């Protein structure tokens, strides 16, 4: 997915649609923001009025009036607090609702897509969209109500001040829009710089991970100094990028302070002069000063939101690019359910390629009678695993047909088809869940006894029972680490528990040692009974389980026969199995 096209308009549409769905919550947040703003502006004004009307009087302080003003102040403070609280609550509610909804849509949309999508898209790509990009959108959403308030506050303050003295208001506030503009520029520069820092930290993490995982190799080849130099390069880069961030902060940070100071200085000098001449009162002078002080933060906040909005739109567009993807394998509108039968498989002149123009299977024809088993044997990249992937319709073929029990698989209900084809993959994937749930993955209704029986058949029970928590042990990336052979045995148990007509074992015993393989083989023999089985393996002993051996080379069926027949008659077969030393 390099050089991705970003449709910012589609991103904006996505965002607006989400906001529209949350309009009640968002509306309440905006209403609360309005209340908050009114209180925020009223407080400095009230301070000014208090000074003029109750304190700075020729006859001394008017205590009764002062008490009323003070109560008014407490009331305004309560309004401000309540408004702030309500604004925050509904803003967060809106933004997290939007976040959760987008994430769910994203997840559901990815689950629908076909294998070709996963082939071309790295998990990290998806994760960064589901985390960083969704987070950007949430950050923008949460900022909307407070920035609405900030805008009101800026406008309201100007109006109030202009009523007191237009020129003083203009001169005092003239620098503030500059702060907003500079903030936008600052964040637009800061963001790529901090992203570089993050990227550097990510690189350092992979250097360290790799170094620790390969620590034995580093020592074997005495490459410690080389590794240190590699880490130093990244650490130096992180330092440089961090200092670049520091330079930006040093350039811009103090400006955010200096510019408002110029505004305040105007009030102090010009406003002070006006007050001396009696054109404004002492209280009005104080109100001016307070309001300007209060506005420092909002004008920066507005700049930050504009910068954040630009990023959020890009993020939304990146999310949209996934949401709009359509699955290539689709169920027909009136798909039929599985026909009766026991799993007869027929490949008829199948042509298939992962990339256009590079066919992996060509004129591939093969018929497996129900209940029998075949072993697919061939050199690396001959197309054997592809055959296994086509049967559950993970990809659609280009030409020819694949039938199960006489019906083209494209006519069938997809869910039913996949429930009827059991698959043990070459690389075993377990989920971060208990061993029990991993075994029951394809058959959630399985009883405890059924799970244990499957585990026993797959020779997994023996090691599971030795782990302290047994079947309740959580495995997967976060959990208890199992050896390759142990994982594979769980995967075999998982496939055994699923009642299927067809079973595909794609190099399923590759990571168990010879002794264990012998025992699993016995288990496989039991499971294969009555099911049509496709075995893909290099191990002669495993191949020998099958009724027939099919030699596959360059996407075609080259020879069919028993293992012994092929071994004695077909030199290519001998070569593929390493029984003769091939020419270099």
Partner 1 sequence: MMFHGPPTIERRNGSGPEIQTTHVIRPLLRLLAPLWVMAAVAIASICIFALANLARPIVIQQAIDDGIIKGDGDAIVVASIWFFALGIVIYVVQAISTYTVTWVGQQVLRNLRMRLFSHYQRLSMSFFDKEHSGRLVARMTADMNALSDVLNSGFLMIVQALLLLLGAIVILFLLSWQLSLVSLAILPPLIIATMIFRVYSERAYDAVRDRIADVMIHMQENFAGMRVVQAFARERQNAEHFDRINEHNYEANLRTVRISSMYIPFIEWLGGAGIGIILYFGAGAVFGVDVSVGTIVAFIFYINFIFQPIQQLSQVYDMMQSGFSALKKIFGLLEIEPEVVEPKTPATLSLPVRGQIDLDDLSFGYSKDIPVIKDVNIEIASGQRLVLVGPTGAGKSTLAKLMMRFYDPTMGRILLDGQDIRQFSFKDLRRSIIMVPQEGFLFSGTIRENILFGRPDATDDEVVAACQSLGVHSFIEALPDGYDTAVSYRGSRLSAGEKQVVSISRAFLADPPVLILDEATSSMDPGTEAIVEGAIRRALEGRTSIVIAHRLSTAEQAQRILVVNDGRVIEDGSHAELVSAGGYYTSLYERWIEHGNAAGG
Does the protein bind partner 1 through residue 526 (CB under 8 A)? no
Any contact of residue 192 with partner 1 (CB under 8 A)?
no
Minimum CB distance to partner 1 smaller for 267 or for 557: 267
Which of 24, 208 has the CB closer to partner 1? 208
Residues 401 to 430 in contact with partner 1, rule: CB under 8 A: 414-415, 418-419, 421, 423, 425, 429
Q: Which of residues 58-97 bind partner 1 (CB under 8 A)?
A: 60-61, 63, 66-67, 69-71, 73-74, 76-78, 80-82, 84-86, 88-89, 92-93, 96-97
Are residues 140 and 305 in contact, defined by beta-carbon separation less than 8 angstroms?
yes
Rounded CA separation 158/172 (Å): 10
Nearer to partner 1, 365 or 415 (CB): 415
**What is the C-alpha end-to-end distance of the chain, expressed in Å?**
38
Q: Give DSSP secondary structure letters for 128-144.
A: HIIIIIHHHHHHHHHHH
> Cβ of residue 363: shortest distance to partner 1, in angstroms?
24
Closest approach of partner 1 to the CB of residue 57, in Å: 10
Task: Please say whether the dihedral angle defined by the alpha carbons of residues 524, 529, 530 and 532, taken in this order, is positive or negative.
Answer: positive
Q: Which is nearer to partner 1, 9 or 232 (CB)?
A: 232
Kindly tell me which of 341 and 476 has the beta carbon lying closer to partner 1.
476
Could you tell me the sign of the dihedral formed by the alpha carbons of 249, 251, 255, 258, in that order?
A: positive
Cβ nearer to partner 1, comparing 349 with 541? 541
Sign for the CA dihedral angle at 496, 501, 505, 509 comes to: positive
* Binding of partner 1 by 544 (CB under 8 A): yes
Q: How far is residue 456's CA from residue 462's CA, in Å, rounded to a whole number?
A: 7
| The only residue of 1, 16, 24, 208 in contact with partner 1, by rule CB under 8 A | 208
- Closer to partner 1 by CB, 221 or 367: give it: 221
Question: Which residue among 204, 323, 335, 474 contacts partner 1 (CB under 8 A)?
Answer: 204
Token pair for 400: 């020819």
Check binding of 522 to partner 1 (CB under 8 A). Answer: no
Element (H, E) at 536: strand 532-536
| Binding positions for partner 1, 90-149, rule CB under 8 A | 92-93, 96-97, 99-100, 103-104, 107-108, 110-113, 115, 118, 122-124, 126-128, 130-132, 135
Residue 504, both tokens = 């595909």
- State the binding string over 351-390 for partner 1 (x if CB under 8 A, else -): ----------------------------xx----------
Residue range at the interface with partner 1 (CB under 8 A); choices 202-210, 343-351, 401-409, 457-465: 202-210
Which listed range, 274-282, 332-340, 344-352, 526-534, lies at the site for partner 1 (CB under 8 A)?
274-282
| Selected range binding partner 1 among 159-167, 255-263, 296-304, 330-338, rule: CB under 8 A | 255-263
Rounded Cα distance, 202 and 128, in Å: 13
Q: How many residues bind partner 1 (CB under 8 A)?
A: 157
The Cα diameter of the chain in Å comes to 123
Measured between alpha carbons, how far is 334 from 331 in angstroms, rounded to an integer? 8
Closer Cβ to partner 1, 363 or 433, answer by number: 433
The residue (of 128 and 353) whose beta carbon lies closer to partner 1 is 128
Q: Does residue number 463 form part of the binding site for partner 1 (CB under 8 A)?
A: no
Task: Between 205 and 365, name the residue whose CB sits nearer to partner 1.
Answer: 205
Contact present, 457 and 496 (Cβ < 8 Å): yes
Q: How far is the CB of 251 from partner 1 (least distance, A)?
A: 8
- Three-state SS for 446-466 is CCHHHHHHHHHHCCCHHHHCC
| Contact predicate 292/164, CB 8 Å | no
Q: What is the 3-state secondary structure (H, E, C) of 373-433?
A: EEEEECCCCCCHHHHHHHCCCCCCCCEEEEEECCEEHHHECHHHHHHCEEEECCCCCCCCC
190 touches partner 1 by CB under 8 A: no
Part in contact with partner 1 (CB under 8 A); list of ranges 194-202, 307-315, 397-405, 467-475: 194-202
Sorted by sequence, the CB contacts under 8 Å of residue 69 that are 6+ apart come out as 46, 49, 50, 53, 54
- Which listed residue (163, 236, 324, 408) binds partner 1 by CB under 8 A? 236
Residue 319, CA distances (Å) to 59, 103, 150, 476 in order: 68, 9, 29, 28
- Shortest reach from residue 9's CB to partner 1, in Å: 25
Do 484 and 515 touch, CB atoms closer than 8 A? Answer: no
DSSP codes of every residue in 56-80: S-TT---HHHHHHHHHHHHHHHHHH
Question: What is the C-alpha separation between 246 and 243, in angstroms, rounded?
Answer: 5
**Which distant-in-sequence residues (6+ apart) come within 8 Å of 468 by Cβ?**
none
Q: Does 24 bind partner 1 (CB under 8 A)?
A: no
Task: Say whether residue 330 binds partner 1 (CB under 8 A).
Answer: no
- CA–CA separation, 407 vs 329, rounded Å? 17
Minimum distance from CB of 577 to partner 1 (Å)? 5
Among the candidate windows 179-187, 457-465, 527-535, 563-571, which touches partner 1 by CB under 8 A? 563-571
As measured in angstroms, the least distance from the Cβ of 349 to partner 1 is 25
| 392 contacts partner 1 (rule: CB under 8 A) | yes
**Per CB under 8 A, 1 contacts partner 1:** no
The answer to the question of residue 538 lying near partner 1 (CB under 8 A) is yes
């Amino acid at each position: 997915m390099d050089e991705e096209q970003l449709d910012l308009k589609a991103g904006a549409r996505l965002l607006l649609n989400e906001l529209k769905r949350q309009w009640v919550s968002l509306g309440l947040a905006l209403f609360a923001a309005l209340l908050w703003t009114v209180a925020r502006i009223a407080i400095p004004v009230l301070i000014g009025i208090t000074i003029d009307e109750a304190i700075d009087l020729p006859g001394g302080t008017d205590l009764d009036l002062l008490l009323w003003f003070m109560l008014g102040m407490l009331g305004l403070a309560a309004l401000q607090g309540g408004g702030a609280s309500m604004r925050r609550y509904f803003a967060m509610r809106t933004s997290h609702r939007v976040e959760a909804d987008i994430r769910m849509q994203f997840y559901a949309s990815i689950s629908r897509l076909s294998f070709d999508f996963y082939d071309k898209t790295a998990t990290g790509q998806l994760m960064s969209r589901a985390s960083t990009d969704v987070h950007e959108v949430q950050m923008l959403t949460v900022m909307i109500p407070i920035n609405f308030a900030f805008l009101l506050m800026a406008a309201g303050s100007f109006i109030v001040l202009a009523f007191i003295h237009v020129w003083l208001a203009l001169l005092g506030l003239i620098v503030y829009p500059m702060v907003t503009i500079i903030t936008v520029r600052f964040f637009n520069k800061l963001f790529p710089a901090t992203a570089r820092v993050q990227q550097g930290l990510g690189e350092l993490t992979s250097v360290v991970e790799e170094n620790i995982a390969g620590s034995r190799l580093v020592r074997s080849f005495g490459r410690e100094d080389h590794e240190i130099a590699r880490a130093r390069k990244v650490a130096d880069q992180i330092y440089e990028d961090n200092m670049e961030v520091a330079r930006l902060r040093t350039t811009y940070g103090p400006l955010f302070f200096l510019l408002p100071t110029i505004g305040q200085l105007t009030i102090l000098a010009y406003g002070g002069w006006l007050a001396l001449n009696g054109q404004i009162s002492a209280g009005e002078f104080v109100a001016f000063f307070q309001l300007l002080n209060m506005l420092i933060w909002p004008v920066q906040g507005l700049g930050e939101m504009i910068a954040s909005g630009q990023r959020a739109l890009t993020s939304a567009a990146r999310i949209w690019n996934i949401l709009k993807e359509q699955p290539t394998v689709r169920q027909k509108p009136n798909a039929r359910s599985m026909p009766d039968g026991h799993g007869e498989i027929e490949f008829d002149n199948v042509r298939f390629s992962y990339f256009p123009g590079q066919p992996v299977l060509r004129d591939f024809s093969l018929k497996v009678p129900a209940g029998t088993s075949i072993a697919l044997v061939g050199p690396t990249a001959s197309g054997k695993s592809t055959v296994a992937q086509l049967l559950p319709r993970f990809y659609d073929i280009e030409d020819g047909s694949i039938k199960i029990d006489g019906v083209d698989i494209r006519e069938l209900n997809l869910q039913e088809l996949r429930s009827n084809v059991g698959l043990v993959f070459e690389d075993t994937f377990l989920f971060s869940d208990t061993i029990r749930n991993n075994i029951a993955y394809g058959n959630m209704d399985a009883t405890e006894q059924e799970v244990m029986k499957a585990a026993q058949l797959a020779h997994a029970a023996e090691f599971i029972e030795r782990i302290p928590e047994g079947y309740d042990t959580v495995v997967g990336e976060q959990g208890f680490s199992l050896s390759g052979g142990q994982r594979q045995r769980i995967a075999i148990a998982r496939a055994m528990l699923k009642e299927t007509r067809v079973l595909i074992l794609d190099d399923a015993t590759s990571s168990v040692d010879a002794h264990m393989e012998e025992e699993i083989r016995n288990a496989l023999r039991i499971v294969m009974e009555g099911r049509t089985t496709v075995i893909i393996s290099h191990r002669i002993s495993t191949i020998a389980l099958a009724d027939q051996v099919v030699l596959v080379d360059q996407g075609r069926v080259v020879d069919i026969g028993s293992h012994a027949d092929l071994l004695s008659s077909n030199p290519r077969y001998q070569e593929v199995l390493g029984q003769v030393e091939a020419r270099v």
